[in-house]
A and B are shown apart, each in its own frame.
Chain A
């Protein structure tokens, strides 16, 4: 049965175009390449905003926990590590997620969501471990996703929010206009609440 509504020629034309595209190896045309390079050049030439205004700025790693964005000062961040296999350590509080092996070093991982009482989602292969270090102490923070490194203007920071309570206020440094919560890396690393000394 021949369908009048279906354009076989169009399909054939599109298939041919696709075949040509495949045969060309998906290579970009010279113009496309040029435009990409131009964009990059523009980005490189752009002067950071903070410098323009002469304000004090803060470099931080932004990551996501549940629906909220958190950030840690870059000075405390060692590296970001994709979580691959972890070991649950018995006789630890709930917020201690477990230990992971990062290039031969054992690293404790804290589930901040549990600590802050945030809604906990399932563990996925997208989960990352943000490695914090300061004065020889290392700690892993379990993050749902890593957003990246960004600049935060300290003047924009609000010291506290009325909704913060208890343990949350203890580790928070402030909140930006964009509602990014800046965590205090030092306190997180030295916080007694995180030291485990339980005996069974």
Chain B
């Protein structure tokens, strides 16, 4: 049967208690019965007493008149008068005492008239003595009426006493049997209780011994566990302090990361703004490129105009060259003419003297003309060179204008591509700004969490200290428990 020690102990004691309760109850009942029996016995004794009292009173009432009869002295009537006064009360009392017994009541009813008759006879006797003297009284007595009454009374009283004594005997027997039952129940109950308690004690002691051994083992385990726990707690405390330090560092790091996130957010916003500006600038740039292309076209047209002018200029300077050649030719011929004129003048002798000077003048002019023509020719050559250079430059300008148009086109495309890239960069920067904002929020949460962890760690440290103290207490408790348990082994 699988029952706890408490249940076993409780069961054993409950059974013993039940036994005692039964014994008690039986004893109580028997004692109550005995008390009742005793009361009845006393009652019976009272009844018997009353009966004898009444008889005694009747004797007193009989005895008193005898002396009066003889002496005539009224003082002898005193017992008689006192008895007459007491008898009714005594009969009443007897009536009350025997209320439960109808036999006795009947006897009392039979007794009452007899007593009244007796007392009446005695009164008659007394009256006779008083009024007619001794003789009259003696004759009344000689009738034996009184004696008959008295005998009847004695007989009824005897019956009553007999009845009461019979009751007394019966009640005494009842009381005895009751006392015997009580004794039996007490002895049986106590023995049974002792046996039960002994059995319970044996079983429980066995159980407790076994359990105590187990407890001893457990206490050993507890002690070693407490030691291990103490070590673990110490380690845990160290770990907690390390964690606290780490948390502090992490908090600082989180703050730094937060700062960084803040900075990157600002930067990203700056980049987004800059990208916006760049987008505007590139729009302007596109416009400028379009304008540049238009202007390049215009420049191309103007360069063509310049080229045409150059061509005309070249033609004109060629014409000039031809004219100059003619002038040079003319000068040469004039020179020759002058020389011939000088020759002719020399031939003319003194008369040609003035003409010689004129001829020299003409020659000089011709030479000047020739020199001038030469100068013009060299200038023309220079001009031609300059014009060639100008033509080349113009051609290059035309090509450059065309190239400029191409390059401007390319630049426009590049700017468009740039604008696209910048737009991408702007959207990326916006995304970065958003994510760094989120990061910032996350960092805030992280910082808060770190704060919580810090608080928890502080609490944990306090808890570790408490745990350490508790562990020491536990160790002490284990030792104490061991000592206690050792007493049971």
On A, residues with C-beta under 8 Å from B are 40, 43-44, 59, 61, 74, 77-82, 126, 128, 146, 148-149
Contact = CB atoms under 8 A, between A and B. Distances in A.
Contact of B363 (A59, A77, A81, A148): A148
A74 B357 contact: no
Given A59-B346, A74-B346, A126-B332, A40 B361 contact: yes
Contact of B343 (A40, A43, A44, A149): A149
Contacts of B359: 149
B70 interface: no
A146 B339 contact: yes
Interface string B328-341: 00001101101110
B contact patch SS: helix
Contacts of A78: 343
Contact of B340 (A40, A59, A79, A126): A79
A contact patch SS: strand
Given A74-B346, A80-B343, A149 B356 contact: yes
A149 B339 contact: yes
Given A40-B361, A44-B357, A61 B339 contact: yes
B373 interface: no
23 contacts: A43-B357, A44-B357, A61-B339, A61-B343, A74-B347, A77-B343, A79-B340, A80-B336, A80-B339, A80-B340, A81-B336, A82-B332, A82-B336, A146-B335, A146-B339, A148-B338, A148-B342, A148-B360, A149-B339, A149-B342, A149-B343, A149-B346, A149-B359
List the 3 shortest-distance A-B pairs measured between CB atoms, nearest first.
A149-B342, A74-B346, A80-B339
A61 B343 CA distance: 8
Contacts of A79: 340, 343
Most chain A C-beta atoms within 10 Å of own C-beta, residue among B336, B343, B346, B360: B343
A79 B356 CA distance: 15
B339 A43 contact: no
A134 to B, nearest CB: 13
Given A74-B346, A81-B336, A148-B360, 9 more contacts: A43-B357, A74-B347, A79-B340, A80-B339, A82-B336, A128-B336, A146-B335, A148-B338, A149-B359
